[in-house]
């Protein structure tokens, strides 16, 4: 169970996402998870081994390292990526529930069910409408919250995003004040800033997706309000054509009646 398995799980969600959602998923996997695995983990790999304190006092290095790095950047990023990916599973569960309901209808032989076979139900792509819209929007909202919380946690824990070269430590058992030197501070600063930048890009993509969904929702509503006979949620192509035919017939009847009365 590793990042590859997460990719498999989230890959399935991709089918029901908007275009912006698909871009977000790609950015997540390529610019965050992959960078973490192939690069960042090597940079932070020797963080405790090469954290050197100017003392012979046993235990001082351990204590100072623990004091300045309560939780390593790598672990914080791993947790951030897992938490940020997980809301998409809400959408996956909702889609699976809908499919299950449609399969149940199909098996019962429901006349209303418009699918010819079970394979079609499996392959169908659900549109983001109705209750699925709410699930999808809440998942984006949670993603934004988690991203913001983790970025703030980073800033708060490490007093900014820069990795200092030298730390002065006076925790017991260190004698007086001891100078401790961090391993690869510049490279770590570069990667921290990179990951923060990509997090911000992901936040902007999520905000854009949220706006897109809201605009789509309001446009649909205003179209519905402008044309009250039109009910898009439960229509199929045949029903749309039938509706149009009915409208034409009713219009021509109206004209006939009006023509007759006048």
Residues that bind another protein (CB under 8 A): 1-3, 5-6, 9, 48-49, 57-59, 61-63, 65-66, 69-72, 74-75, 78-79, 82, 86, 89, 93, 97, 173
Distances (CA, A) of 17 to 10, 159, 202: 11, 37, 15
Other Cβ atoms within 10 Å of 238 Cβ, number: 9
Residue 20 near residue 212 (C-beta atoms within 8 A): yes
**Least distance (Å) from another protein to the CB of residue 119?**
12
Distance CA 162, CA 56 (A): 28
Between 20 and 77, name the residue whose CB sits nearer to another protein. 77
Between 82 and 149, name the residue whose CB sits nearer to another protein. 82
Residue (of 218, 160, 215, 213) closest to 189 by Cα position = 160
**Least distance (Å) from another protein to the CB of residue 57?**
8
**Least distance (Å) from another protein to the CB of residue 59?**
4
Between 27 and 79, name the residue whose CB sits nearer to another protein. 79
Between 43 and 78, name the residue whose CB sits nearer to another protein. 78
**Least distance (Å) from another protein to the CB of residue 163?**
17
Between 89 and 201, name the residue whose CB sits nearer to another protein. 89
**Least distance (Å) from another protein to the CB of residue 55?**
12
Residue 181 backbone dihedrals phi, psi, to 5 degrees: -110, 130
Residue (of 41, 30, 37, 38) closest to 184 by Cα position = 41
């Amino acid at each position: 169970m590793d990042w590859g398995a997460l990719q498999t799980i989230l890959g399935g969600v991709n089918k029901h996402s908007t275009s912006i959602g698909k871009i977000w998923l790609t950015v997540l996997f390529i610019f965050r998870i992959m960078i973490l695995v192939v690069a960042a983990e090597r940079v932070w790999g020797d963080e405790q081994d090469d954290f050197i304190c100017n003392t012979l006092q046993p235990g001082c290095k351990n204590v100072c390292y623990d004091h300045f790095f309560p939780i390593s950047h790598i672990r914080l990023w791993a947790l951030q990526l897992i938490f940020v990916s997980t809301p998409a599973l809400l959408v996956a569960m909702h889609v699976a529930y809908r499919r299950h309901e449609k399969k149940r209808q199909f098996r019962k032989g429901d006349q209303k069910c418009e699918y010819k076979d079970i394979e079609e139900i499996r392959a169908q792509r659900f549109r983001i409408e109705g209750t699925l819209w709410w699930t999808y929007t809440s998942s984006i909202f949670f993603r934004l919250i988690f991203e913001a919380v983790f970025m703030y946690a980073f800033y708060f824990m490490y007093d900014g995003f820069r990795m200092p070269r030298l730390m002065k430590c006076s925790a017991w058992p260190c004698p007086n004040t001891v100078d401790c030197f961090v391993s690869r501070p510049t490279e770590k600063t570069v990667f921290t800033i990179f990951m923060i930048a990509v997090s911000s890009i992901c936040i902007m993509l999520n905000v854009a997706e949220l706006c897109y969904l809201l605009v789509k929702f309001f446009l649909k509503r205003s179209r519905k309000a402008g044309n009250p006979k039109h009910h898009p949620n439960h229509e199929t192509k045949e029903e749309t054509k039938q509706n149009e035919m009915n409208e034409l017939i009713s219009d021509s009847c109206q004209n006939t009646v009006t023509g007759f009365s006048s």
